[in-house]
Amino acid sequence: MTRRIVSADIGGTHARFALATIDGDKVVAMDDPVTLKTADHGSFQLAWEEFARRSDEPLPPALAISFAGPVGGELLKLTNNPWVIRPALIPEKLGVTDYVVVNDFGAVASAVAAFDESAYTHLCGPDQPLPATGMVTILGPGTGLGVAGLLLGPNGAQVIETEGGHIDFAPLDALEDRILAELRKSFRRVSVERILSGRGLMNLYEALASLENRPTTIRDEKELWGAAMAGSDSLAAAALDRFCLTLGAVAGDLALAQGAAAVAIGGGLGFRLKDHLPRSGFRDRFIAKGRFERRMDALPVKLITHPQPGLFGAAAAFARRFS
């Protein structure tokens, strides 16, 4: 049965909405998304109403939400956003009859389960498609650091939602020992998300400036990312180098922990770094796992290039639930 649904991807910075068409357990079409800043709206319901105002057609009574935080319980709180969602009130407040709420990287994992090879670019390891069976580790930096697992097998795909972005940061050289010491002055516990996120680059930049006894001349995160990517500021560029090294190390650690047969990198910043990561130290850190180095070098690592994996994945999760 073909039906229209609303797909929503709610993150720490943006709320994205799109109308999608599903047929059975597949997403067959997705309209252009509407992107709203979460800071401009007091709640998810108010953002929903703004999307309805902009829509060219009445919103269907079916909703899929990709949510940047844990999705269990009666009250859902975003990790990097003051919005809260009460799932039990969704039908009453939004006028929907069918809905599903999934973790944001659970949604990305659902998208990976549905994508073909055109949705990726090769990053490192063997240049071959993702395996038909086995575990795929999925992670990506954005406002936070999302992590999920996708177990592929003869009976279909199983999405494993996690909060792996909040594991401890483990320094791997003397400079990172010093960076960790600097970050501990601001954070009682330094998780990998303190580095692998939009704000994380600023944390690295400020830590390196302190270690170099240099002033920080860039205060805005957007400006910092621009300077780092362009290489126009040496301190910002050094922070980005450390960002990529850490992303490689963490991706490798998670792949080992999950027994992965492949890795997919997503997130808004992952996509932004698609041209930079292959030239960085990502691969060297990814495979640098001692006795498991040869195994790590045999894993295909892909970068998700689909523009809206969260929206697509939320719709895919809905399609599987209600097919």
What's the pLDDT tens digit per position in 95-118?
A: 999 999 999 999 999 999 999 999
- Separation CA 121–CA 98 (nearest Å): 35
Query: Percentage of the chain with pLDDT > 70?
Result: 100
pLDDT for the residue numbered 295: 97
Q: What does the pLDDT look like over 169-193, one tens digit per residue?
A: 999 999 999 999 999 999 999 999 9
Q: Residue 261: its pLDDT value, please?
A: 98
Nearest alpha carbon to residue 7 among 306, 307, 269, 317: 317
Nearest to 141 by CA among 197, 192, 86, 89: 197
Nearest to 192 by CA among 165, 171, 173, 174: 165
pLDDT digits (tens, 9 = 90+) for 231-250: 999 999 999 999 999 999 99
Q: How much is the pLDDT for 21?
A: 97
Q: Which residues contribute to the annotated binding site for ATP?
A: 8-13
Rounded average pLDDT over 139-150: 94
Best CA proximity match to 35, nearest among 21, 20, 51: 51
Mean pLDDT for 10-14 is 89
For residue 73, the model assigns a pLDDT of 85
Tokens of 123: 């990053």
Q: Which tokens sit at 74?
A: 């009666």
- Considering only the C-alpha atoms of the chain, give the largest distance between any 2 of them, rounded to a whole number of Å: 64
What 3-state class would DSSP assign to 46?
helix
Which amino acid, residue 104? D
Query: 68 pLDDT exceeds 90?
Result: no
Q: Is 173 exposed, middle or buried (0-12, 13-18, 19+ CB in 10 A)?
A: exposed
Mean pLDDT of the chain: 95
Q: Give 167's pLDDT tier (boundaries 50, 70, 90).
A: very high
What pLDDT score was predicted for residue 16?
A: 97
Segment among 45-54, 73-82, 305-314 with least mean pLDDT: 73-82
pLDDT digits (tens, 9 = 90+) for 119-141: 999 999 999 999 999 999 999 99
Extract the annotated binding site. 8-13
User: At a CB cut-off of 8 Å and minimum separation 6, what does 294 contact?
Assistant: none
pLDDT at 72: 84
* % the chain with pLDDT above 90: 91
User: Given a cut of 90, is residue 80 above it in pLDDT?
Assistant: no
* HSE of 70, CA atoms in CB hemisphere, 13 A: 8
From CA 86, how far away is CA 36, in angstroms rounded? 20
Candidate from 71-75, 220-224, 286-290 with smallest mean pLDDT: 71-75
pLDDT in tens, 248-266: 999 999 999 999 999 999 9
